[in-house]
Amino acid sequence: MNAFKIGLTIFSIVLFLVSCNKEDSDIVRKVTITVDSKTKEYSPWGSETICEGLNINEKGSKEWMVIGIDAIEGFKYEEGYEYSLLVEITVLANPPLDDTNHRYKMIELISKTKQ
C-alpha cells in the first residue's frame, strides 16, 4: 500500500508540473504571411480610436486580419506594395492587460511586388 501511495504522489506532482509549464509558456511559430498593398482602418484592442493597420493573411488561411502598422518588428511598410514575409509569431502566455497577446518579428522578406 505504501508503494502505491508513493507512486500516486509522484504521478500527481509530475502531472502538476507538466500542466503548469504548458500554461506558462509562450507559443512561438514561424509562418509565411502576405501583407496587402493597402492599409485598413481598425480599432486596436482595448481602444475606441480608429487607426491605420496592416491587412495580413497567413499562408493557407482564407481569413485576413488587421494588425498595427508597426506591429511587425523589423518590417518597414510602403503603401502600394504587396509583401510576402516569413515571420515569427509569438503568442504570449501572460500578455499585458492593455495589449494584444501576439508579437510579430520579420525573419525574411520573401517578396515585394508593386501593385
**Residue type, position 100, single letter:** T
Residue 1 predicted with pLDDT over 60? no
Distance from the Cα of residue 60 to its chain's centroid? 16
**Residue type, position 19, single letter:** S
Supply φ then ψ for residue 114, to 5 degrees.
-65, 135
Q: Which helix (H) or strand (E) holds 58?
A: strand 51-58
Condensed to tens digits (0 to 9), the pLDDT of residues 68-109 reads 999 999 999 999 999 999 999 999 888 777 677 889 999 999
Residue with cell 494584444: 100
65 or 5: which leads in pLDDT:
65
Task: Tell me the torsion sign for CA atoms 72, 95, 89, 45.
Answer: negative
Residue 7 predicted with pLDDT over 60? no
